[in-house]
Structure 1
């Protein structure tokens, strides 16, 4: 039986919601505000006090409100899904809640079925994510990506790629809308597909639409579909991509190129979870996770009047920047070898390696076309290779001009490999002792030292927020100030 932690400072609302959930077969534990809830769910020195499958909490409460409670859970490393309830259904609150990790947002007063549908959907997604967690746990514990892991397609072990993969692991199990930004050729669609494959929606369809590649007069019918007779030539009805992606993920690539007139209709679909075909009089409910991608600066587009600010808020619940290749140049050797293997198999060539001189040229290039450009360069080299190794002679002319300067910034280390090659090794460049959520205390340390260490580390985790630190530690904020004054 799923266990739910229900948090609300309104006794009447707390009791009525508790009854609805218990009559539907859920075990419910109640708390009167965020501070009381935090006492029940946060980890203790001996382990977590209680285990919950879901948290349903009000937003505006004394002592510790819903959004502060969400932030506290995040700082504690708690991953229990959270549904927020509020009588003040502002878009800004919903966006902020999703950024903090909430998976749904209910506006009071809500109907019984709306609550139960939300709870059922969240628990179902959480169960599916837990079933897929085994493979991710192997990656976390061993540092090895299995061949079937979606992450294995994101090649590279640079700091930028490690950060990107960590972010994907955090956001993939949620239902949050995501905006991917980055230069052309960085692999935004690959990242989107990886998020889909690591989400509870992995068994459903992943559909991608390039908004800049579809004529303006056709993109509306592509997205939303049409009914027979909706326009000249509509001899039958057709479902749009939102309906086709029901239960799955829809990638709107180059969202910055979407016609301004259509943006309001997209916004309504994101807000209401329903679409209306062209020529239809009724709307249809859809359950689709939307991931948008663009190489444009959408904030500048908003200022220029070509992109709606409210739509940007809806799309950028989670913003992920995909790094350009020159920002992770140490990944070039690993990427080049991957593209070499793919191109050799595709063209039936016996090419299996890249010479050191050719690799130095690749490392010295700035790659304005990013990973896509590197893939094309390596494939061209494989086609022209005369033996089993790619040499400088097979590289394009614009790269050959750099051959004389290839050693700059890529000199060999003590083991005879380039610094970029060394940096491409798993774990290279990671800070010693990096970790999160725990602290180590040497045996024999005094209680005073342990107390000071705990306060200091919690302050670091909360970016110096003394009030949040006090709430996490379960002490009065004045105690924090007093302890700090004694130092």
Structure 2
């Protein structure tokens, strides 16, 4: 229920306004002076304040300067006599939402209060979304506990309070934009824009106007002024993904932005100062691009004030179980399914897979598995098509005798047969059993097979 605080030194006027608003379902509070109003504001945090301009020897406008610094301020509506409308206009300049003239018309009162209520609801929703956004990109919320990821998160924590330029490198799908957003939304710039632009996705003929904007008449079709993304990100962060694809002609202009903190629109004569943090990302080795004369050396060194190198998923496989659980939870909630875990064989398959598409591919695999999964647990059959896994058929037809079998001896024999079939080349033997080289060698050590077979020169030392 929306709370409305009425401030008026005339009891009858307070009562009339309170009756009208109460009948419409508002929670009404009343105060006869500013001090009484301050106490109620501190105690009840009303969304709307309805105050008379003249409160005896006090001025209702003063309540604007007394309001506490909450996430959003109440909407203040000033009531004034017709002869003092200029004072009401002055109140709006100081932050009041609107004003009403005496005698107050009931319909206009309710309409104005309703608009103020809509504003309060909008501010609440914006606050909720902002808190949700900040929570989503909290550094602590980034999934990954491997040594490499912990080192990256340590760098991110150190760079967020600054305005330093950051260069993020890594293969496609490793989460470069996620790191960029974590830097922005944990920095003092978090309330300002975060604008992402993929330099490889915009034609070379358009990217300059997108970044720098243009003046009317700058080229055919430029009928109005266009503000570029660098200006639009004022006070915030611009994320330049695939920076290696930026044309050389624009690299020099971007260098000027970094050095002089100013931009000049296409066709313009004057420059505009900009306060914007630049975070760049690439899946290429920029040092190699510099050697090939495809990237400016001076821009390269301006961008790499702080560097973050994100490893591919195949080099941080210890993070896969946690990432899988994260995506299972995410898509189970999104699709309204009760899937809470993943079968051990399926998880092992995820760990053993090479992941050329990195985290983005893992997310897609889990999303599809959630859709087709029929139980409460993701099974190997739910992911085998996506990973192009071949299910072993011969093992499925083995009969287990009543007296049971010795599973360790059975596994030991499988390892032997795989070694024999591969002529004792461990990499080939591992592939025959669908294992990684490391896993196969671990099992050889476990069963003492590394010391038993010939051609030991093929075994790792």
- Common fold, TM-score beyond 0.5? yes
Q: Is 1:400 matched up with 2:389?
A: yes
Task: Give the corresponding residue for 2:8.
Answer: none
One of 158, 161, 164 as aligned partner of 1:173: 161
Shift, 1:402, TM fit = 8.2
Contact 2:137 2:178 in 1 (8 A): no
Task: Give the corresponding residue for 2:38.
Answer: none
- Unaligned runs of at least 5 residues, structure 2: 1-133, 393-432, 443-461
Q: Deviations over 1:389-414 (max 9, x none)?
A: 11000114334238843587469x9x
Shift, 1:321, TM fit = 0.4
- Unaligned runs of at least 5 residues, structure 1: 1-145, 414-487
SS of the residue 2:316 aligns to: helix
Contact 2:343 2:377 in 1 (8 A): yes
Partners of 1:230 and 1:256 in 2: CA distance? 27
Task: Give the corresponding residue for 1:248.
Answer: 236
Contact 2:137 2:181 in 1 (8 A): no
SS of the residue 1:334 aligns to: helix
Task: Give the corresponding residue for 1:270.
Answer: 258
Partners of 1:334 and 1:325 in 2: CA distance? 12
Q: Deviations over 1:59-105 (max 9, x none)?
A: xxxxxxxxxxxxxxxxxxxxxxxxxxxxxxxxxxxxxxxxxxxxxxx
Cα RMSD of the aligned pairs, angstroms, is 2.0
Kindly tell me: are residues 303 and 218 of structure 1, through their superposed partners in 2, closer, same or farther at Cα, counting changes over 3 Å?
same
SS of the residue 1:400 aligns to: coil
Task: Give the corresponding residue for 2:348.
Answer: 360
SS of the residue 2:311 aligns to: coil
Task: Give the corresponding residue for 2:65.
Answer: none
Task: Give the corresponding residue for 2:145.
Answer: 157
Kindly tell me: are residues 374 and 399 of structure 1, through their superposed partners in 2, closer, same or farther at Cα, counting changes over 3 Å?
same
Given the two structures, how large is their TM-score scaled by the length of structure 2? 0.56
SS of the residue 2:375 aligns to: coil
Partners of 1:210 and 1:402 in 2: CA distance? 40
Q: Is 1:211 matched up with 2:208?
A: no
Q: Could you list the structure 1 runs, at least 4 aligned residues long, displaced by more than 3 angstroms after superposition.
A: 146-149, 401-404, 406-411
Task: Give the corresponding residue for 2:315.
Answer: 327
Q: Is 1:380 matched up with 2:368?
A: yes
One of 289, 293, 302 as aligned partner of 2:281: 293
Shift, 1:316, TM fit = 0.7
Alignment map for 1:82-481 (pairs within 5 Å): 150-397=138-385, 398-401=387-390, 404-406=433-435, 409=438
Given the two structures, how large is their TM-score scaled by the length of structure 1? 0.53
Shift, 1:327, TM fit = 1.4
Shift, 1:147, TM fit = 5.4
Partners of 1:396 and 1:341 in 2: CA distance? 20
Q: Deviations over 1:392-444 (max 9, x none)?
A: 00114334238843587469x9xxxxxxxxxxxxxxxxxxxxxxxxxxxxxxx
SS of the residue 1:156 aligns to: coil
Partners of 2:437 and 2:342 in 1: CA distance? 19
Contact 1:392 1:400 in 2 (8 A): no
Partners of 2:180 and 2:390 in 1: CA distance? 36
Q: Deviations over 1:12-51 (max 9, x none)?
A: xxxxxxxxxxxxxxxxxxxxxxxxxxxxxxxxxxxxxxxx
